[in-house]
Amino acid sequence: MPYSYLSHLHCPKTNVRYDASQIQQLSEVGAPLLVDYDLDALRSAWKPTDLLGREASLWRYHELLPVLDPANVVNLGEGFTPLFRTPRIGQDLGIDDLWLKDEGIIPTGSFKARGAAVGVSKAKELGVRALAMPTNGNAGAAWSLYAARAGIEATVVMPQDAPQITRLETAISGAHLYLVNGLISDAGKQVAEAVAAGGLYDASTLKEPYRIEGKKTMGFEIAEQFGWRLPDVILYPTGGGVGLIGIHKAFQELRALGWLPAEQPLPRLVAVQASGCAPIVKAWQARAEASEFWPDSRTVAFGINVPKALGDFLVLRALYESDGYAIAVDDADLLAEQRKVAELEGAFVCPEGAALYAAARQLREAGWIRAGERVVVLNTGTGIKYPDTFAVDVPLLQPGERLPR
Ligand SMILES: Cc1ncc(COP(=O)(O)O)c(C=O)c1O
């Protein structure tokens, strides 16, 4: 049995096929390329029971990942993150069957490790020696560290305001790191210029086809961890939207393989954004096909500060097809939820993850999330990476001083 059933790439705008054995970036019409597998061959060759006993990482799904030769896999133990019930915050929200998929414990501290692991492994397989990318912090940290492990040179440009820890994570890997006094969109223009000058693989979000494949494994895991019965709703903090596109793709692939009950509808996907940067929400409300650039974007949930996403049309498509929703929440609300989730569940989620609880509260109150529904919150990183988003006032004792009662 082959390690991967990779077949080819295609452009979701024109359906033109592209060769997956060559380095590819965007399609001729400037759209992200999607990865296709030989699902017909895989259907008869692969069964859910084949997963039993495999390693607890995203590579357990290697048949549906693009790396052809296992020798090219760059692995830091990413994936197969915990999915557990959160009854106390669930009760607070009025959602009894509320679950947390926690990406905070993954290498590099955020789910960006998934996209980086698969993206860097495939880059290595294709012979890439040097890559470049803009980032809001977490992706740059993850890609730099995986690139270091693969022996690939990385150049990263991030906003000056990105969380300090991601700057350190990127720099310690030996990557060429530059800060920009601007947004990720400004960093993106600088990277595009450098790539145009030659010699660099463009690892910008969705300008290479493989990070979606890494992120889609969150969908495989949710399905497997629930015994191949999907939840009703999944909430996702949406910046570039890669994870949401990936999860939707994962469910379609599993359905094509016949691994999901045919009668069960796919989960309703919810794109959660911040009210200071909500281009997808605005487009979804207008039932538009694509979003518009969001000027002066700002939010403490740095990872979702993306004023215009290249794959916006794919995110919107996933929302329409899954009968989903797009919603924006205020920074003050998400910060309040972050504290509440730590107090009630002992989970220190990142601000992006905390935004999902603020959204779930609104959607439950509005009745869009119905009583008894199974809801999954996808916390995309650890709160430890964002020490500046909350403050504590702690009493200082002198040695020998008694604790107040
Ligand atoms: C913690 C965190 N959550 C969510 C996102 C948004 O991810 P996506 O681009 O898949 O929408 C990011 C992106 O930087 C992030 O770092």
Mean pLDDT of 225-230: 96
Sheet harboring 97-102: ordered strands across?
83-85, 97-102, 374-379, 233-237, 268-274, 325-329
Mean pLDDT of 105-130: 97
Q: What is the pLDDT of residues 155-210, one digit of tens each?
A: 999 999 998 999 999 999 999 999 999 999 999 999 999 999 999 999 999 999 99
Identify the band that residue 335 occupies on the pLDDT scale cut at 50, 70 and 90: very high
Identify the band that residue 31 occupies on the pLDDT scale cut at 50, 70 and 90: very high
Q: Which residue type occupies 127?
A: G
For the chain, give every domain's residue range.
6-73+111-202, 83-109+216-383
Distance CA 35, CA 256 (A): 15
Fold of 83-109+216-383: Rossmann fold (3.40.50)
Percent of the chain with pLDDT over 90: 96
Distance CA 133, CA 190 (A): 9
User: What is the reported pTM?
Assistant: 0.96
Identify the band that residue 405 occupies on the pLDDT scale cut at 50, 70 and 90: confident
Nearest-CA residue for ligand 1 atom 14 is 303
Q: Please give the class, per CATH, of domain 6-73+111-202.
A: alpha beta
Q: Does residue 404 surpass a pLDDT of 90?
A: no
Concatenated DSSP letters of 335-387: HHHHHHHHHHH---B-HHHHHHHHHHHHHHHTTSSPTT-EEEEEE-BBGGG-G
Mean pLDDT of 70-94: 97
Residues forming a β-bridge with 179: 158
How confident is the prediction for the chain on average, in pLDDT?
97
Concatenated DSSP letters of 215-237: HHHHHHHHHHHTTT---SEEEEE
- Whether ligand 1 lies within 6 angstroms of the CB of 311 is answered as no
Nearest-CA residue for ligand 1 atom 2 is 303
Residues forming a β-bridge with 36: 8
What is the Å distance from ligand 1's center to 297 Cα?
15
Q: For residue 115, which atom of ligand 1 is closest to its CA?
A: 10
Q: What does the pLDDT read at residue 389? A: 87
Identify the band that residue 154 occupies on the pLDDT scale cut at 50, 70 and 90: very high
